Structure 1
Amino acid sequence: MHNLNKSTIQCLIVDDEPLARDVIRLYIEKVPVLHLAGECGNAIDAMMFLHNEKVDLIFLDILMPHLTGTDFVKSLRNIPKVIFTTAYKEYALEGFELNVVDYLLKPIRFDRFLRAVSKAFSQKNEELANNIPVVLPPEKKSNSGFIYMKVERKMIKVMFDDIIYIESARDYLKVITQTNTIITRQTLSSFEAMLSDNEFIRIHRSYIVSLKKINSFTHDTVDVGVRELPLGKFYLNSFLKLQH
C-alpha cells in the first residue's frame, strides 16, 4: 500500500493501447503534483491493482477487451476520480451519467489534460489544484522556430521549417528534413510534446508530419512530397478538422 503524500495525486492509467498509455504517462511526468502509481492494459488487471493499491485518479479507456471502462466503473464500490480517455465521442453521455470527472477525446492535447486534472481536484483540495499548471509548458508554446536534438555526442540545431516528417523506429526517431535525415534516440510521444500544434500533427502511431509540407491526402494516406505516409484511423478525425 502506498504511503500517500498529501501533496501528490496518485494516478492509474488503464488502456489496452500501449501508445495511448505512453501519451498519458508523458503528461503525468510533466506535472510534479501527479505521480504514476501504475498502469494496466485492461480493466481486469486494474481491478486487481485497486485491491492492493490506493489511487486518487484513474485515466480510463472505454473500449477494452473483456470488460469495458464503463462496466468497470459500475463494478467499483469505492470509486476514485475517473477521467475517461477514448477516441469515440458517442460514449460521452454514458460517461457523464456515471459521474466521471471529464471525458478526453484522443488524441489528447496536453492543455486539455491539465484542465481535466485541475477540474478533478479543484473542489476536493484547493492546495493540490493550485499546484496543477494551467498553461502549457514553455517548450510547447516556443516561438523559437528550432529545436536541439542529441545525435551521438552533439546537440544539433534543427529548424522547424526544415522538418518534413518524423518517423518512429522503436526507441529511435528519424527526422526527415529538406536536406538530410537525422536519427536520435527518443520516443515519438516525447518529441511530439515539444512541437507546436499549429505546425505539426500526428497522423499515425509512427508518424508526425509538418502541416506546411502536406501536398495531398486521402482518408488513409498523406502525401508529403518525398513520401506517401499512412493516415491511421485513430488520428483521422483530428487530421480532418485541421484541414478546414
Structure 2
Amino acid sequence: MSIKCLIVDDEPLAIEILQSYVERVESLELIATCNNAVKAFDVLKKESVDLLLLDIQMPKLTGIEFLKVLNPSPKVIFTTAYREYAVESYELNVVDYLLKPIAFDRFLMAINKVVKNGSSTLEMAQPKIESTQDGDPFLFLKVDRKMVKVYLKDITYIESLKDYVRVKKHDGKEVVSLQKISYLEQKLPSDCFLRVHKSYIISLKKVDAYSNTSIEVGGVEVPIGRSYKSEVVKVLNDQV
C-alpha cells in the first residue's frame, strides 16, 4: 500500500529535489505539488493525502498556520531552512523536521518514521547471491522501480539507513536500496565481508588501514562498534 504525498513549498528547486526523492521510494506516491498553502488546501479537499511535505516560510499562509487550520490533518514532515520553528512544530505533533538542504538519507529516516507510526509497510525484495558464467558473484538490489545488478567485487562498504542500505562502490558511485543490513550480513560471504558496526559492513579486500576504533576503507573512515570490536580486530589481524 503506497503513502500518498503532497509537496507544499514556494521554492521550485526545493519541490524538484523532494519530488525526485519521492520518486526514488517505491512506497511513496506523489499526488501533487503546490507553491503555497492555499493551493494545498484545495488539493486536500479533492484528494486523499497521507503525508504532507510542508515548507514553513511561504507567502499568504505559513506552513505552521496552515497546519493549525487542518482538522484532521495528514501526517506532516516540515521541510524548512529555519531552525527556530522546531519547538513549535513538534508541539503540533509533526513526524519530523528536516532542515534544507535535505540529504536523501535524512529524508529516508523521516519516511521510516511515517511507516513506523502508521499502518503502511515497506516491502523489501530479498536478494540472493548469483554468479556470472565467469564466476563473478553479484546480487540484484531494488532501486526506485527497477532491479540493479551489483557485483560483490565492486562493493567497498554498506551503510544502514534503518530500513534502507547505502551500498558504496569502489568507483565512488552508490546504490540506495530498500533492504535491511542484517539480511545482507547473512547473505554476503563471511570471508569477504565483515559487519564492524550496527550500521556498517565492510569489504575485507578494500581495507586500507585500521585501528582499535575505526577502519579506513575506500578512503572513508568507518567506526568499529564496541560490541563488534573483539571479533573485528581478530579477523583483521588474521588478514595481515
| TM score, norm. by length of structure 1 | 0.53
Q: CA deviation at 1:129?
A: 4.3
Whole-angstrom distance in 1 between the partners of 2:74 and 2:122: 16
State yes or no: 1:134 paired with 2:128.
no
Q: Which residue in 1 is equivalent to 2:79?
A: 85
- Does the 8 A contact of 1:31 with 1:133 survive in 2? no
State yes or no: 1:66 paired with 2:60.
yes
Q: Which residue in 2 is equivalent to 1:98?
A: 92
- Does the 8 A contact of 2:8 with 2:54 survive in 1? yes
Q: CA deviation at 1:77?
A: 1.0
> 2:121 aligns to what SS in structure 1?
helix
Q: Which residue in 1 is equivalent to 2:28?
A: 34
Whole-angstrom distance in 1 between the partners of 2:33 and 2:169: 31
Whole-angstrom distance in 2 between the partners of 1:88 and 1:103: 10
Whole-angstrom distance in 2 between the partners of 1:87 and 1:112: 14
Question: Aligned pairs, how many?
Answer: 139
Q: CA deviation at 1:128?
A: 1.6
AA of the residue aligned to 2:66: F
AA of the residue aligned to 1:113: F
- Does the 8 A contact of 1:110 with 1:136 survive in 2? no
Structure 1 segments, 4+ long, off by >2 Å, are 129-138
AA of the residue aligned to 1:96: Y
Q: Which structure has the larger Rg?
A: 2
For 1:141-220, list aligned pairs within 5 A. 141-145=168-172
- Output the aligned Cα RMSD: 2.1
> 2:117 aligns to what SS in structure 1?
coil
State yes or no: 1:11 paired with 2:5.
yes
Q: Which residue in 1 is equivalent to 2:109?
A: 115
Whole-angstrom distance in 1 between the partners of 2:169 and 2:99: 25
Q: CA deviation at 1:134?
A: 2.8
> 2:101 aligns to what SS in structure 1?
coil
Whole-angstrom distance in 2 between the partners of 1:106 and 1:99: 20
Q: Which residue in 2 is equivalent to 1:178?
A: none
Cα-to-partner distance string for 1:145-180 (whole Å, 9 max, x where unaligned): 479xxxxxxxxxxxxxxxxxxxxxxxxxxxxxxxxx
Distance 1:69 1:8, change over 3 A: same
Q: Which residue in 2 is equivalent to 1:57?
A: 51
AA of the residue aligned to 1:144: D
% identity of equivalent residues: 50
Q: CA deviation at 1:36?
A: 0.4
- Does the 8 A contact of 2:6 with 2:51 survive in 1? yes
Whole-angstrom distance in 2 between the partners of 1:133 and 1:36: 23
> 2:40 aligns to what SS in structure 1?
helix
- Does the 8 A contact of 1:88 with 1:105 survive in 2? yes
| TM score, norm. by length of structure 2 | 0.54
AA of the residue aligned to 2:121: L
- Does the 8 A contact of 2:27 with 2:122 survive in 1? no
Whole-angstrom distance in 1 between the partners of 2:163 and 2:56: 26
